[in-house]
Amino acid sequence: MRFEHYGRVEDPITAILTGIGRSHDLTIDDLAPVDEFHLGGAAATAALVADLDLRPEDRVLDIGSGIGGPARRIASVVGCEVVGVDLTPSFVETATALSELTGLADRTSFVVGDATRLEFSSRFDAATLVHVGMNIPDKPAFFAAVADRLEPGARLGIYDLMATGDPDRLSYPLPFASDASEAWVASPDAYVAALVAAGFDVAEPIDRTQLALDATAAASAAGPPPVSLATLMGPDFDAMFTNIGAALRGGLLAPVQIIATR
């Protein structure tokens, strides 16, 4: 799968460190406004991690890991090993550098790879998929491939933007797609059906809209951070932000969490 929407900033690590104003003593919370690349940010990641019930001895696969925010939070909070895979080379390079700068290189690693072709020789104890499924057209085949890379009893934590209305009414660009040809938004019911077909036991989907709204309000009250998603998304970010807000308010999309067990 080729995807050109991401990787708009030529040198993400320089942009991030310039925005923060230092390259030493960095924490995961310093980076959260830019590397928790999804609605609800760190709060949404924390909720997902809590419901996955991870253990320090687990080995976790973060599919579509971006610049590594969720992977680093999992490694920091739980203490387990996290392997991230992402299609965008500059994101993988940035994720690796930021893990070194936050002292988490021993628990996180990142590789360039296609989320729809998970070429790992070993299996994982858990996996996460955070705001990635909207870019994957064949979800039944994808979840079957994920199941093949998980140990029996492993949990898959999904936090995606899902269709709660007519996706044909979406306005673009959006943070995950420049136009409709790059977007494969599906309903929670479609996710559940694809997961069940792949052999997963699936918990009831949880709408995280209120969590995302509360996190956004808290961030606004705290004032503008030195770095944000605009640091990565470039000049189209304002239009993306406006359109995603309209989609949420109009009931077209919602951030939804699903926990599935292999």
Q: How many CB atoms lie within 10 A of CB 218?
A: 11
Lowest mean pLDDT across 154-158, 189-193, 224-228: 224-228
Q: What does the mean pLDDT of the chain come to?
A: 92
Contact criterion met (CB below 8 Å) for 44 and 211: yes
The β-bridge partners of 62 are: 84, 128
**Distance (Å, rounded) from C-alpha 65 to C-alpha 95?**
8
29-47 pLDDT, tens digit per residue, is 999 988 888 999 999 999 9
Q: How confident is the model at residue 236 (pLDDT cuts 50, 70, 90)?
A: confident
Provide the token pair at 128: 């996460």
Q: How confident is the model at residue 15 (pLDDT cuts 50, 70, 90)?
A: confident
Top-confidence residue, 115 or 45: 45
Provide the token pair at 5: 């929407």
Which pLDDT does position 195 carry in this prediction?
Answer: 98
pTM of the model: 0.91
Q: How confident is the model at residue 24 (pLDDT cuts 50, 70, 90)?
A: confident
Contact criterion met (CB below 8 Å) for 246 and 147: no
Lowest mean pLDDT across 162-176, 229-243, 247-261: 229-243
**Distance (Å, rounded) from C-alpha 54 to C-alpha 203?**
16
Domain covering 12-261, topology:
Rossmann fold (3.40.50)
**Distance (Å, rounded) from C-alpha 96 to C-alpha 107?**
11
Helix (H, G, I), strand (E, B) or coil at 117: coil
Q: How confident is the model at residue 260 (pLDDT cuts 50, 70, 90)?
A: very high
In this prediction, residues 162-186 reach a mean pLDDT of 95
Which pLDDT does position 2 carry in this prediction?
Answer: 44
Which pLDDT does position 6 carry in this prediction?
Answer: 52
Contact criterion met (CB below 8 Å) for 31 and 102: yes
Helix (H, G, I), strand (E, B) or coil at 191: helix
Q: How confident is the model at residue 8 (pLDDT cuts 50, 70, 90)?
A: low
Percent of the chain at pLDDT exceeding 70: 95
Q: How confident is the model at residue 188 (pLDDT cuts 50, 70, 90)?
A: very high
- In the chain, domain spans: 12-261
pLDDT at 199 over 80: yes
